Structure 1
Amino acid sequence: MSMKVILDLDACQGYSCCLMEAASVFDLDDATGKALLLQPAPPAELRVQVENAARSCPARAIRVENG
């Protein structure tokens, strides 16, 4: 099943928990200090990592939807 990742940059506080959980999907923008979404529709095999990233975000800035 495909998924869609939504990153709310207004909510993001740059904790980088998402990067620690799913480094191939998220990065940190050096200019803003906020997360960057590298793969808005990552492959299904990354679902566990992406869901862990969403759960670990203290700012609740990440949503994972079925796509």
Structure 2
Amino acid sequence: MPLHIPLTSAYLCQDCSCVSNCSRRCPACASEVLMGLAGILNREVQEVPAQSYSYTAAMVA
């Protein structure tokens, strides 16, 4: 039977590798070691700011 779980409420159990929509405890093994998948699998492109370096004269005492 197909099941639909939106990515925002999908959690991966790190003990048994099951995906569910329960954020507190894995329904398969009762583990509490869950990881939200939205933060990892969200494919929105984020712009990475370019780093710029500037050089200044060193102060000598």
TM class, shorter-length: under 0.3
Say which structure is richer in helix: 1
Question: Given the two structures, how large is their TM-score scaled by the length of structure 1?
Answer: 0.23
Question: Given the two structures, how large is their TM-score scaled by the length of structure 2?
Answer: 0.25
Q: Which has the larger radius of gyration?
A: 2
Between 1 and 2, higher relative CO (CA 8 Å, sep ≥ 6) is seen in: 1
Say which structure is richer in strand: 1
